[in-house]
Amino acid sequence: MSRRTIRSSRAKTATLVSAGALAVALNVAPSATAIADAIHKSGADSAVTLPNPNGVESAVGGDRDHGPRGDRGPKGDKGDKGDRGEKGKQGATGATGATGATGATGATGATGGRGATGGTGATGGTGATGGTGATGGTGATGSPEDTYILVSAPVVDDPTAPTADDTASVDCTGNDVALGGGGVSSTGSPLTASNPIGVVGNPASGWTVTRSGAGGTLTAWVVCGIIPG
């Protein structure tokens, strides 16, 4: 039997006893109806045989309908929180997982910006001296009849510009070539330039000299080689 059944039986008995005790105190025999009501209110579902004033027994309570069931009582308060349990032991180390597959190759990144210009490198060592080239063959000996000398007309220094340069030039005849040349200043002043005349890459055709203005005259001369015609 459950605790709820035991409590219900006790409540029914107490109700029945209370009704009987009240009747004795009042010296009044309780009627069958009063006792049946008491049993009904207590929730008894068994018939009770009671004597009536005439000595005739009657059964009450067995065939009467129960009243409506009462509302459910309010929910009890939440119990106190239990104590925290002990910390569990650390589990065993899991097995090492399998190696994952190699991922796909990523796309090529954008070209980086141009870096700063590096510093000047150290000067390299001096290279080894090259070997001496082979000596060229001796040219044919020219005869005195193959050359001649020409002299320019004297150039007089300009008295209105005594510090200006003076230049004298002389050319060979026809297609003859200049083999050498020079110049003479009547005052003995040095020449500042003495060069062949001609187009670069072609044989020289004359000679020119220059000096700083120093009075007197300047004369150029040239040694010409005859080109057979």
Output the CA torsion 201→203→207→211 (10° steps): 20
Residue 213's pLDDT is what? 76
Q: Looking at the whole model, is its pTM more than 0.75?
A: no
The model's pLDDT over 111-144, given as tens digits with 9 standing for 90+, comes to 988 888 988 988 888 878 866 766 655 555 555 4
pLDDT of residue 24: 42
C-beta contacts of 183-188 below 8 A and 24+ residues apart: 183/207, 183/209, 183/211, 183/218, 183/219, 183/220, 183/221, 184/218, 184/219, 184/221, 185/211, 185/214, 185/216, 185/217, 185/218, 186/154, 186/216, 186/217, 186/218, 186/219, 187/214, 187/215, 187/216
Q: Which residues in the chain land under pLDDT 70?
A: 1-66, 130-131, 133-145, 229
Question: What pLDDT, on the 0 to 100 scale, is given for residue 85?
Answer: 87
The predicted pLDDT at position 4 comes to 44
- The pLDDT score that the predictor gives to residue 223 is 97
Q: What is the pLDDT of residue 167?
A: 94
Looking at residue 61, its pLDDT comes to 46
Report the pLDDT value the prediction gives residue 121, as an integer from 0 to 100. 86
